[in-house]
Amino acid sequence: MYAVPGMYSSCGIYPSDIALHPDAASKENGMGTHLPSTEFDGTAVDDQREADAEAVLGEPAAQMVQLLGPDGKLGTDPVFSDYADKLTPEDLRGLYADMAAIRRFDVEATALQRQGQLALWPPLTGQEAAQIGSGRASQPQDYIFPTYREHGVALTRNVDLAELLRQFRGVSNGGWNPKDTNFHLYTLVLAAQTLHAVGYAMGIQRDQKLAAASDAAGKQPDAAVIAYFGDGASSEGDVHESMVFASSYKAPVVFFCQNNHWAISVPTNVQSRVPLSNRAKGYGFPGIRVDGNDVIAVHAVTEWALEHARQGKGPVLIEAFTYRVGAHTTADDPTKYRQSSEEDAWRAKDPLARLEKYLRAEGLADDAYFAKVKADGDELAAYVRRTAHDLEDPDIRQAFANVYKEAHPLVAEELAWFEEYSAGFAGGEEYAGQVEEAGH
């Protein structure tokens, strides 16, 4: 259902494709001929492998924490209902408002990229509950390490959303000061931030021990760390190393994996044959799969996990089972590698729609409330648009200058190539004028 035979992923080729792709098989010195024969060398075996993986990964309702179903009905859970019960009507309306705001922001940022204001945008649509639920469960003293898609978490940490655009416009190497909000800079090197997070958590642990030993007055509240990463990043060695360290040292860290089912064009069932949350067992700490489109369950599970970490009981892995409804980034076209029926099936599990149903059914929000949320979203979008237009243009030469402190021949060579390439566009305005005159 997921893998498209012969499809090259932009982050590599996955093993089953190597044997299936006609070019790989026919080229004498092609990659395929150099690879040892594997269990993936055949369509039948490959299909069986996918069927096996889907049997455990497909719809694991029994093993997944869910409180608010797609029908908007609230269920119960022996552990997590107590946490959900703490949410007041105001909190629930706030969770909805945040999810609506970040979805609106995402639409605006995507449009800004299409209009040439940003170089690239990684949309989060579909993952609002995973991000808002977990971010809202964190305390101000906690420290967050995001990937590049955690715009919703940024909102919950009071990061100025317009600042998120700076990096994607190429006018900043970061965009905000992490010390202001305890929300670290976006990390684009997959999984690197999981190591940073564990190191940071081990630092917190030592600071807290020192503070306790000196019996310092005005002791700070205990803190924990959240490391966000994706299903694809979970295959990186950095995640393994960070989990080994976190477990050995009982570091106060929550590993929050958003399993959005895709790593660009590679589906999750190629990344793992078991639910990703099961991996925690091998390291010796709890792993929980939660319905990532259920903001109430995500909030409850994350609150529990952070408490666990802050109390010195060690790390927790949360796998938020969700879906990337849009493209990987504005440079990606998902119609090339997945079925629209799959997207439709996930749209039916939309995180906003189910909370709206619940709020209306319980009489906690009415038309006026939802109209106000919409108006606030439009205001946010207008602010972001205004700010983006006011940002300076990127100085691409600066990117070359930033690579090394001193001059480097390879960078100089690449800059020279870039200058020559750019010069090829000279007179472009004149050409555009001719096209217009010719009536094209």
Ligand X SMILES: Cc1ncc(C[n+]2csc(CCOP(=O)(O)OP(=O)(O)O)c2C)c(N)n1
Q: Is 328 a catalytic residue?
A: yes
C-beta of residue 234 within 8 angstroms of C-beta of residue 271: yes
Considering only residues 64, 95, 101, 264, which one is a binding residue for ligand X as defined by CB under 6 A?
Answer: 264
- How many residues make contact with ligand X (CB under 6 A)? 15
The CB-side HSE value for 16 (13 A sphere, CA atoms) comes to 20
Residue placing its CB nearer to Mg ion in the complex, 208 or 277: 277
Whole-number minimum distance, CB 131 to ligand X, in Å? 11
Of 184, 299, 324, 385, which one is the catalytic site residue? 324
Give the chain's end-to-end CA distance (angstroms, integer). Answer: 43
CA distances from 296 to 158, 320, 322, 348 (A): 20, 12, 14, 18
- Binders of Mg ion among residues 262 to 291 (CB under 5 A) are 263
Asked if 236 is part of the footprint of Mg ion (rule: CB under 5 A), the reply reads: no
Asked if 319 is part of the footprint of Mg ion (rule: CB under 5 A), the reply reads: no
Which of the choices ligand X, Mg ion, none does residue 17 contact, using the CB cut-off of 5 to 8 A by kind?
none
Considering only residues 69, 146, 230, 314, which one is a binding residue for Mg ion as defined by CB under 5 A?
Answer: 230
Nearest-CB residue for ligand X: 230
Q: How many helices and strands, by DSSP H and E, does the chain display?
A: 21, 8
Of 310, 328, 354, 385, which one is the catalytic site residue? 328
CA gap 295, 34 in Å, rounded: 47
Residue placing its CB nearer to ligand X in the complex, 188 or 396: 188
Secondary structure class of 155 (helix, strand, coil): helix
Of 2, 14, 337, 358, which one is the catalytic site residue? 337
Which of the choices ligand X, Mg ion, none does residue 291 contact, using the CB cut-off of 5 to 8 A by kind?
none
CA distances from 78 to 39, 42, 65, 372 (A): 42, 45, 10, 36
CA distances from 373 to 313, 367, 369 (A): 39, 10, 6
Pairing of strands 225-230, 253-259: parallel
CA gap 330, 69 in Å, rounded: 30
* Binding flags for ligand X, 8-27, as an x/- string (CB under 6 A): ---x----------------
Amino acid at 172: S
Asked if 230 is part of the footprint of ligand X (rule: CB under 6 A), the reply reads: yes
C-beta neighbour count of 406 within 10 angstroms: 5
CA gap 143, 196 in Å, rounded: 11
Asked if 232 is part of the footprint of ligand X (rule: CB under 6 A), the reply reads: yes
Q: Is 2 a catalytic residue?
A: no
Considering only residues 260, 272, 293, 322, which one is a binding residue for Mg ion as defined by CB under 5 A?
Answer: 260
Asked if 231 is part of the footprint of Mg ion (rule: CB under 5 A), the reply reads: yes
- Binders of ligand X among residues 79 to 108 (CB under 6 A) are none
Asked if 231 is part of the footprint of ligand X (rule: CB under 6 A), the reply reads: yes
Considering only residues 324, 338, 349, 385, which one is a binding residue for ligand X as defined by CB under 6 A?
Answer: 324
Q: Pick from 232, 273, 265: which is nearest to 339 by CA?
A: 265
Asked if 149 is part of the footprint of ligand X (rule: CB under 6 A), the reply reads: yes
Q: Is 149 a catalytic residue?
A: no
Considering only residues 102, 190, 280, 290, which one is a binding residue for ligand X as defined by CB under 6 A?
Answer: 190
Considering only residues 188, 274, 345, 412, which one is a binding residue for ligand X as defined by CB under 6 A?
Answer: 188
CA distances from 60 to 53, 180, 274, 321 (A): 12, 39, 11, 10
C-beta of residue 84 within 8 angstroms of C-beta of residue 297: yes
Asked if 326 is part of the footprint of ligand X (rule: CB under 6 A), the reply reads: no
Contact residues for Mg ion, defined by CB under 5 A: 230-232, 260, 263
Contact residues for ligand X, defined by CB under 6 A: 11, 149, 188-190, 230-233, 260, 262-264, 324, 328
Catalytic residues: 324, 328, 337
